[in-house]
Amino acid sequence: MHHVSWSVPENARAGTHLLVMLHGYGSDETALAPLFDHLPPGVTGAALRGTFDVGGRYGWFLLDPLLASDEAEVLAAGTSLLATIDELRKKGNFTGVSLLGFSQGMAMAVCALRLRPGGFSCAAGLSGFIVESQLLAMAEPLEVRPPFFWGRDRADWVIHPDAVAAASAWLEENTMLTARTYPGMGHRIGPDELRDLGVFLRRFAVSAEKNKVTDYGSD
């Protein structure tokens, strides 16, 4: 079970949509806490802490400067993430579940989508990338294409062009993609991006799940 920071107290979560929020490499759940104030009404944010130690900070799996990783480690991290999400679902009377990931957190969000197709209302990736998986690719393209918001700066120096191209190709083939770019934003989350993210969540998380309550047992 991952450590969780919530946007609202427990008594205010029932009947809301759960947004699982995943931070970047060498960070922790507090990095995404400032986004809580920008979530639409009816959305509860749960910022998770990665379990991979990065010198006192955290990540989801080992990552080198070129964004290379071990597929087995990524899949193990994704499986662990799904187990935590299942626990959160059991404890809350949520109307649905969506994903948001920044940088390496986007890779984790996409991994969860690939491991559990159709299990999430929508997803968002901010200034991030996707990890190649020959194993998961065998079952793709996904039969259920979730709405996906992808925000970035074309000049982001952290996410190299090959990673951008790979992410673009996968997202175009496997999701209903909303892609936006924000000049000058860099490798961070900007105010214009937050505005567009809010619009996306209101459409695909809140509106799509309104008045719908799901049985949150494990799949």
Give the Cα separation of 109 and 22 in Å (integer).
7
Q: Which residues contact 52 (CB under 8 A, 6 or more apart)?
A: 58, 59, 60, 61, 62, 77
28: left (phi over 0), alpha (psi -120 to 50) or beta: beta
Burial tier of 55 (Cβ tally within 10 Å: 0-12, 13-18, 19+)? exposed
216: confidence class by pLDDT, cuts 50, 70, 90: very low
Q: Is the pLDDT assigned to residue 163 strictly greater than 70?
A: yes
CB 129 within 8 A of CB 167: yes
Q: What average pLDDT does this structure show over 73-91?
A: 96
Q: What average pLDDT does this structure show over 174-189?
A: 98
The pLDDT value recorded for residue 116 is 96
Looking at per-residue pLDDT, the higher value among 92 and 21 belongs to 21
For 18-27, the pLDDT digits (tens) are 999 999 999 9
pTM of the model: 0.93
Closest by CA to 26, choosing from 63, 75, 70, is 63
Q: What average pLDDT does this structure show over 153-181?
A: 98
Give the Cα separation of 183 and 181 in Å (integer).
7
User: All domains of the chain, ordered by start, with CATH?
Assistant: 4-209 (3.40.50.1820)
1: confidence class by pLDDT, cuts 50, 70, 90: confident
Q: Is the pLDDT assigned to residue 213 strictly greater than 50?
A: no
